[in-house]
C-alpha cells in the first residue's frame, strides 16, 4: 500500500487442506481472487495475503494463522477477509474467542460466503452476539475449573504448592525432612516465652511468615479451597490439641 493512501488496510487469510483440494478442487488461488475482488469493492487496500496450504483447521496452530493474529494484535491492518468460516477454524470455541479478540483490537472481520462483515450496523450486532458467546464460554471454563478444584479439595487433594515441611510426590503431600522442625516450632511457641519475632528470626522467616505457619491447617492434615476446609489425604504434622493451644496463644499476642 502507498504510504499516503487513505484506504483502510485488509489482510486476506486463505486455507485449504489436502483433502479439500483432492475432493473439491477448492484451491487457494480461487479463494484469493474472490477475496481480493470483494475487499477492493468494499474500499480496502490489501496489506498482505496469508496462505496456509495443506493445513487442517482443527485448531489455530498454523504458521500463517499465527502470523495473521500477531499482526492483527499489532494493528497492522483494519480488517481480515476470509472465504468461509471453516477456512478460519472448524472449532466453534476457537472461532468465537478469536473473533472476540479481534473486536478488542478493533479489527473488522469479513466472511465472504457466510455474509458476515462486522463493519456495518448488522455486523456490529453480530460481533456483540459473538462476544456474548465468548463470555459464556469463558464462564463455562471458569466454572469447570472451580468445580474441579472444589472436588479435588473435597476428595483430599491438595491445590497449590507444598508448604514448608511437605514435598509433593505424585501430586500428593508427603512430610519431608523439615516436618520435625515444623512440629518443634509449634511446641517452642507454645511452651516457651519466645516472641514471634525471635521465633521467626531463629527459623529465617518474617514475623508474618511464622504467624502464617502457625495458623496453617495443612499441618493438621486439612486442605482449603474457596474458604471451605476439608480433610486431606496427607498425613498431619501436628496434632489437633497442639494446634488449638497454639491458636489460643496466638489470639492473645
User: Tell me, what CATH number does 244's domain have?
Assistant: 3.90.1750.20
**Residue 127 shares a structural domain with residue 68:** yes
- Residues 86 and 57 sit within 8 Å (Cβ to Cβ): yes
Last residue of a domain, one of 118, 142, 166: 142
Residues 6+ apart with CB under 8 A from 96: 130, 133, 134, 137
DSSP assignment letter at 186: H
Structural domains counted in the chain: 2
The last residue of a domain, from among 91, 119, 142: 142
User: Per-residue pLDDT averaged across 190-215, rounded?
Assistant: 94
Claim to verify: residue 177 and residue 198 sit in the same structural domain: yes
Q: Bigger pLDDT: 29 or 198? A: 198
Phi, psi of 45 (to 5 degrees): -100, 140
Question: Are 204 and 234 found together in one domain?
Answer: yes
Greater confidence (160 vs 1) lies with 160
89 & 121 share domain: yes
137 pLDDT band, cuts 50/70/90, is low
In a domain, 2, yes or no: no
**Active-site residue, selected from the candidate residues 17, 40, 195, 233:** 17
229 confidence band (pLDDT: 50, 70, 90): confident
Residue 117 located in a structural domain: yes
Locate cell 486442605: which residue? 223
73 and 187 housed in the same domain: no
The label of the residue with cell 502507498 reads 2
- What range does the domain containing 221 cover? 155-251
pTM: 0.48
- 94, 118, 142: which is the final residue of a domain? 142
CA distance 197 to 181: 17
Residue 78: pLDDT band (50, 70, 90) is: very high
- 230 is annotated as an active-site residue: no
Residue 103 lies in a domain: yes
If asked whether residues 137 and 161 sit together in one domain, one would say no
Question: Is the domain of 42 the same as that of 127?
Answer: yes
Decide if 148 is inside a domain: no
35: Cβ contacts below 8 Å, ≥ 6 apart: 12, 14, 81, 82, 83, 112
Same-domain check for residues 127 and 164: no
- b/e code 138-164 from CB counts within 10 Å (16+ = b): eeeeeeeeeeeeeebbeebbbeeebbb
Q: pLDDT digit string (tens) for 85-129?
A: 777 876 777 777 788 788 889 998 888 887 777 666 766 676 667
Alpha helices, DSSP H, located in 42-178: 63-73, 85-88, 92-104, 121-154
Amino acid at each position: 500500500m502507498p504510504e499516503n493512501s487513505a484506504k483502510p488496510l485488509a489482510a486476506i487469510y486463505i486455507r485449504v487442506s489436502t483433502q479439500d483440494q483432492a475432493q473439491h478442487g477448492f484451491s487457494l488461488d480461487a479463494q484469493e481472487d474472490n477475496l481480493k475482488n470483494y475487499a477492493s469493492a468494499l474500499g480496502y487496500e490489501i496489506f498482505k495475503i496469508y496462505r496456509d496450504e495443506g493445513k487442517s483447521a482443527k485448531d489455530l496452530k498454523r504458521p500463517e494463522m499465527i502470523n495473521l493474529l500477531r499482526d492483527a494484535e499489532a494493528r497492522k491492518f483494519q480488517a481480515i477477509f476470509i472465504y468461509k468460516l471453516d477456512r478460519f477454524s472448524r472449532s466453534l470455541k476457537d472461532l468465537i474467542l478469536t473473533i472476540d479478540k479481534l473486536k478488542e483490537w478493533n479489527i473488522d472481520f469479513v466472511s465472504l460466503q457466510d455474509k458476515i462483515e462486522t463493519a456495518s450496523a448488522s455486523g456490529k450486532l453480530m460481533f456483540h452476539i459473538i462476544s456474548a458467546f465468548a463470555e459464556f464460554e469463558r464462564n463455562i471454563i471458569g466454572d469447570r475449573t472451580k468445580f474441579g478444584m472444589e472436588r479435588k479439595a473435597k476428595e483430599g487433594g491438595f491445590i497449590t504448592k507444598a508448604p514448608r515441611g511437605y514435598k509433593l510426590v505424585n501430586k500428593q503431600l508427603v512430610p519431608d525432612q523439615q516436618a520435625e522442625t515444623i512440629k518443634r516450632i509449634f511446641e517452642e511457641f507454645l511452651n516457651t516465652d519466645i516472641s514471634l519475632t525471635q521465633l521467626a528470626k531463629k527459623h529465617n522467616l518474617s514475623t508474618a511468615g511464622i504467624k502464617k505457619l502457625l495458623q496453617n491447617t495443612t499441618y493438621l492434615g486439612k486442605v482449603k479451597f474457596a474458604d471451605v476446609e476439608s480433610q486431606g489425604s496427607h498425613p498431619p504434622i501436628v496434632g489437633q490439641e497442639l494446634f488449638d493451644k497454639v491458636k489460643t496463644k496466638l489470639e492473645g499476642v
